[in-house]
Amino acid sequence: MKIIPVILSGGVGSRLWPLSREHFPKQCLPLTDTEYSLLQQTMLRTAALDVVSPIVVCNEDHRFLIAQQLQALKVKDASIVLEPKGRNTAPAIALAALEAQRCHGNEALLLVLPADHVIRDVAAFEATIQQAVMLANENALVTFGVQPTRPETGYGYIRAGEDYAVAEFVEKPNLEKAQAYLDSGDYLWNSGMFLFRAKAFLDELALHRGDIFQTVSQAYQERSEDLDFVRIDAELFAQCPEESIDFAVMEPTKKAKVVPYAGDWSDIGAWDALYDYADKDADNNVLLGDVMAEGSTDCLIRSESRLVAAVGVRDLVIVETADAVLVMDKNNAQDVKKIVKRIQAEGREEHMYHTTVHRPWGTYQTVDLGHRHQVKRIMVKPGEKLSVQMHHHRAEHWVVVSGTAKVQNGDREILLTENESTYIPVGVVHALENPGKIPLELVEVQSGSYLGEDDIVRFSDRYGR
């Protein structure tokens, strides 16, 4: 039986703010690679294995991002299962197992991989997977334990027994215990990666957490398909208990096995982890983007939109984006979440969006925002179309910068090319489409009493929003 990659992509990575946002999470960012996101690297890592089309479990807000990133890799026939609400890994993997059974039968072999891990030693990864396949074919539930390289307090541990047996799962330890685990040689980092048959997992879930199994099964039975996505019944799924696969299945089951993985691995959970993993310069700095550093050591400095200069600093993380700058002692990386919670509590949006917002049809970027006006730079991909819509509170003026725009403006349909424009009054039904072969770029000037994104009345939309 071929392996089905199951990619878990439900998180938002708030500890990597301001780069990771709710609507553009860390797994969709090229954090450790100039070309591919963490999600794409995870997919590419499975390419040499005997695999079929993947199953990706993600939340609804990220569905178009995920689909676009898979399309960029030319991954076809992927099942993208939408979680109506985050319920941790046990329900998410149950959804994937049910989808795998439907598509491939009870013997479907699932390789469960979080979307935000980084592994450079692909050969070691492949060898470890092949070793685990033999155990999974004997109905074992296999987890992968990473050989520890330091006394890490941020990971759970697995004490390995003989013949791949799991002797004990251990929660995140303090530093003293972590050092003892490292010295003993009997403990592995709990990687959160798994390999097992779909039926074997579901049988153990039903045995140990029948409430989760029943609720997820009922919600999955009421699924519907929407474009490239599998939608789960939201009302039923909301009743599912929130639980990790470790607590729900792996700890109580008698079928757990652990296969050691000795290659490099990181879950890139926070900025200090990214610093540890990245290549350093002669001053032990990680400098990314337009950065100048003088007399500075042991820093991670990343620029996204402008020059960042650092003089005489040490052990800092400095991350610049178009709308936010983070300056932090590298040893306080876990506390970024506190800033994100404050931003959210104050009703701001910097935890949700970048200034460039991705949509299924392209992107828009806010260039200027005032009391009664907003200026956006809009890009529409070839062949794509925005919804047919109207606004109650704002008028819009579109100026084409490059490409061709097919515009519905009330009862008129017009074609606009470079340097041409149109005005759309308040309350007029309109739509924008790119009929050309190159991206359409235009400037939109909004004016009115209310400029929020929720002032949109959609009459039709090819993306089902």
CATH, residue 433: 2.60.120.10
Residue 403: pLDDT band (50, 70, 90) is very high
Residue 353: pLDDT band (50, 70, 90) is confident
CA nearest 106: which of 230, 1, 220? Answer: 1
CA nearest 411: which of 388, 386, 429, 424? Answer: 429
Of 261, 290, 314, the residue at which a domain comes to its end is 261
H or E segment at 99?
helix 89-104
Distance separating alpha carbons of residues 228 and 64, to the nearest angstrom: 9
pLDDT value of position 48: 83
Distance separating alpha carbons of residues 57 and 54, to the nearest angstrom: 10
82 and 188 inside one domain = yes
* pLDDT surpassing 80 at residue 391: yes
- Residue 382 in any domain: the answer is yes
pLDDT tens string 413-462: 999 999 999 999 999 999 999 999 999 999 999 999 999 888 999 999 88
Note whether 28 and 135 are within 8 A (CB): no
Note whether 125 and 45 are within 8 A (CB): yes
As a residue count, the chain comes to: 465
Give, as one character, the DSSP assignment of residue 249. Answer: I
CA 99 to the chain's CA centroid = 20
- Residue 178 in any domain: the answer is yes
Helix (H, G, I), strand (E, B) or coil at 424: strand
382 and 330 inside one domain = no
Work out the average pLDDT over 151-163: 89
382 and 328 inside one domain = no
CA 133-135-139 angle, to 5 degrees, is: 105
Of 261, 291, 312, the residue at which a domain comes to its end is 261
pLDDT value of position 105: 85
CA nearest 316: which of 303, 333, 340? Answer: 333
* pLDDT surpassing 80 at residue 1: no
Strand 291-294 relative to strand 308-311: parallel, antiparallel, unpaired?
A: parallel
Residues with Cβ < 8 Å from 363, sequence gap 6 or more?
356, 357, 378, 379
Residue 44: pLDDT band (50, 70, 90) is very high
Q: Mean pLDDT over all residues of the chain?
A: 93
DSSP track, 126-151: HHHHHHHHHHHTTT-EEEEEEPPSS-
| Residue bearing tokens 């579109």 | 398
254 and 286 inside one domain = no
Distance separating alpha carbons of residues 64 and 362, to the nearest angstrom: 10
DSSP track, 288-352: ESSEEEES-BS-EEEESSS-EEEES-BSEEEEE-SS-EEEEEGGGGGGHHHHHHHHHHTT-STTT
Provide, rounded to the nearest whole percent, the portion of the chain with pLDDT above 70. Answer: 100
Provide, rounded to the nearest whole percent, the portion of the chain with pLDDT above 90. Answer: 80
pLDDT value of position 47: 87
Distance separating alpha carbons of residues 112 and 132, to the nearest angstrom: 12
Work out the average pLDDT over 75-97: 94
- Residue 219 in any domain: the answer is yes
Of 211, 227, 261, the residue at which a domain comes to its end is 261
Q: Which range (36-50, 203-217, 419-433) has the least confidence?
A: 36-50
Phi and psi for 348 in degrees, rounded to 5? -85, 175
298 and 390 inside one domain = no
193 and 332 inside one domain = no
Q: Helix 63-72 to helix 38-45 angle, to the nearest 10 degrees? A: 50
H or E segment at 275?
helix 271-277
Residue 132 tokens read as 């685990």
CA nearest 137: which of 105, 108, 166? Answer: 108
Work out the average pLDDT over 294-310: 97
pLDDT value of position 60: 86
Residue 268: pLDDT band (50, 70, 90) is confident
pLDDT value of position 299: 98
pLDDT value of position 106: 82
- Residue 266 in any domain: the answer is no
123 and 230 inside one domain = yes
Work out the average pLDDT over 280-309: 97
Residue 210: pLDDT band (50, 70, 90) is very high
pLDDT value of position 355: 87
Work out the average pLDDT over 226-234: 89
What is the domain extent for residue 367?
Answer: 356-460
* pLDDT surpassing 80 at residue 34: no
255 and 286 inside one domain = no
